[in-house]
Each structure stands twice: as C-alpha cells, then as structure tokens.
Amino acid sequence: MRQALIAAGIAAVVSLVVWQVFDRSTPAEGATGPRAFRVTDELIEDGWVDGSRTAGADHKPLEHSASSICFLTKIEIKGVQGPEDANSCTIGIDEFTGYWQVTATVAEGGRSEVRCNARCLVWE
Amino acid sequence: MQALVSPRVRFLVTAVLGALAFAQPGYTHHNSQAEFGPFASPTIYVEGRIIDIHWGNPHISIDVEITGGALPAGEKWRLVSHPIRIMEEYGFQPTDFAVGDSLKLYTWTHVRKQPLMWPRAIQVNDGPMRSNLRFTDMIDIANGTFESLKIEAPLNLNGSPPQRAGPDTVAKLKEMGLIDANGLMIWPPPAQD
C-alpha cells in the first residue's frame, strides 16, 4: 500500500512537471523554449549498498539539474532483520556538480542491502 | 529432522555453506569497468584541486575542481574509487589528502559522460604518482610499458590474484616469471642472477 502511494505521488509530480514544461513549450512569438525531450535510461549500475559488508551511502549522478528532472525507478531492499536496518533511496541535487543524484543508503548498524535506480526527463 | 539427516551429511552441508561464505575473492562493490571502461582502456591526464573529501564506504570520493589537462579548467568533477579497506590495502590513507591539495591524475571518465572520474593513478602535490588500479598495472607490466609510466606500484600488487587482468595478461606474466606457485603476482620482479 505504501509503495503504491509513493508511486502515485511520484507519478503526480512527474505529470505536473511535464505539463508545466509542455505548457511553456508554446511560447509567445520570438521567445525560446525547450525543443526536444528525452527520457534517459536507468544508470548502468544501481546505487547500491550492502550493509552486510559495510553501511554507508552511495551517490550516483544522473543529469544536470538545469535541464532535467529525475524520478526513482527502482527500490530494492533485501535482508532486513530489525529496526536498525533503516534503508533509503532518495533523489536530490548535488550542490557540488549541479547534477541530480540518486542515493542509496544503509544506516550505520544496518546489515541489509539496498539498490536504487532512476531515470530522468531531459529537455534540450 | 535430525534423525533424517546423518551427521556426515550435516557436516558436508555445513562445510559447503561455510566454504561459500568465505569464498568471496575480495571485496567487490560496483563494477567499475561497466561504468568507466575496461582496465586496459586509455586514460586521460587531468590536474585539479581538492574541494572536498568523503573518506567513507561503500567507496571514497573526492570533489575536484579541474585546473588543467584534458578537461576544461573550472569544471567540477567527482573522483570515485575503492572502499576504505581497499584504499588502505593500496597504501592510501585519509591523511594523504587535504582540501586545497593539488592532484595530478591518470584517469578514466564515466562512459555516460557523468562528471565522474575513476583514477588509474594519483599524485598529490609533489608526491609520487601512485597506482590506484593494480589490474591495470598487471596489464602494463605484461605489455612492458609499466616502468615508462613512472607509476609507483601499490602495496597490494605483490601477492595479488591476477585473474581480473585477463587470461592473456596472466599468461604473459607467467612467461615473465611474475606468477608464483600459488598463482599470485610477484612484484617487484625477482632479482636476476
């Protein structure tokens, strides 16, 4: 149920952004707007942390945030044994590179495994 | 249940499971070749300045502002490398790096053009150019090009299993007398009489 709600929320946000972008793609005469859209493939390698080896956070850059928006496409968690297994998949902007990044995290003390991946809508 | 399984079978199952548990060839995290190309693929030379250091697992990373070499000066790239334990096995320590230090790198860049570098070798300030990928060292040693690169071999090259460098490289290293009876890399080369 929770996953369905999260998926519905993501779909709503992406739809809103797409609608906003397309709405701006019919600009007034002389104005410029995005000319092409594409959706990227998933990353070659998942963001991945195996807590049975070591906990931590794995950050994977996606696309430059100036011309894209990204969304999670994969959340896979294995081996949860207790409340210490606090795993997450998040998307945020890396302030250093300016890129969206997907982050897989296994909190300190966790022994489970998390895999995350994402795709992006890019306008050019 | 115990009556159905003989002690001998239980022992064998335990032994096999135990062997599997300890049979990992080493810490393998991400497949760097999928993201940065094969170990033998060409590198670029880049100079930069350290902006930030993340000495953590599952792998360390260093934020670098480019100052010269094959990438445009001023660009911001992230150097990614091994987990902490593997970095230490290579001979790197967190104290080797500090914000503001200059870096010289022979590096691969991400195949999908994301601003990520995986260094083949790292030089901090005026220190030595140190290897960060022993399997590429093995390939270069087998090809006879390693010494000309002036790259310092890592601490874990000697005694390392060479299989990930590829069968052709392993065969050449054997011919060169650089593989011991256990199939492990010998480095530096044995003294010639």
CATH number of domain containing A109 = 2.60.40
Task: Specify if A18 maps to a domain.
Answer: no
Torsion B146-B151-B154-B158 (CA) sign: positive
Domain of residue A77 covers: 34-123
Is residue A25 situated within a structural domain? Answer: no
- pLDDT in the model for residue A17: 58
Instruction: Indicate the helix (H) or strand (E) that contains B38.
Output: none
CB A90 within 8 A of CB A64: no
CA–chain centroid gap for B145, Å, is 18
Identify the residue among B27, B31, B76, B79 best suited for mutation to test binding to A, counting A beta carbons within 10 A and taking the highest: B76
- B51: nearest CA partner in chain A: A96
Q: Using a pLDDT cut of 90, give the percent of chain A over it.
A: 68
Q: List the domains of chain B with CATH numbers.
A: 32-131 (2.40.50.140), 136-175 (no CATH)
Residue among B35, B57, B77 minimizing CB distance to A44: B35
At A55-64, the pLDDT tens digits run 999 999 999 9
Q: How far is A97 from chain B (nearest CA, A)?
A: 6
Q: Give the model confidence (pLDDT) of B103-121 as tens digits.
A: 999 999 999 999 999 999 9
Residue A118 φ then ψ, to 5°: -155, 160
Structural domains in chain A (count)? 1
Residues in B whose CB is inside 8 Å of some CB of A read 27, 29-31, 34-35, 51-52, 56-59, 61, 63, 76-78, 83-84, 111-112, 114-116
User: Minimal Cα distance from A47: which residue of B?
Assistant: B30
Task: Return the pLDDT at B28.
Answer: 44
Report pLDDT digits (tens) over A13-30: 666 655 665 555 555 555
Per-residue DSSP letter, B185:
B
The answer to whether A61 contacts B59, with C-beta atoms less than 8 Å apart, is no
For residue B95, the surrounding DSSP H or E stretch is none
Which residues are CB-contacts of B127 (< 8 A; sequence separation ≥ 6)? Answer: B96
- What is the rounded (10 degree) CA torsion for A34, A39, A42, A48? 40
Lowest-pLDDT range of B1-5, B65-69, B188-192: B1-5
d(CA B100, CA B112): 28
Domain for residue A78, yes or no? yes
Backbone angles phi, psi at A87, to 5 degrees: -105, 160
Does residue A21 lie within any of the structural domains? no
Residue A83: inside a domain, yes or no? yes
* Distance between B151 CA and the closest CA of chain A, angstroms: 29
Task: Please tell me the distance from the alpha carbon of residue A109 to that of residue A118, in angstroms, as a whole number.
Answer: 26
Q: Is residue A42 part of a domain?
A: yes
Residue B12 or B167, more confident = B167
This model of the complex carries an ipTM of 0.76
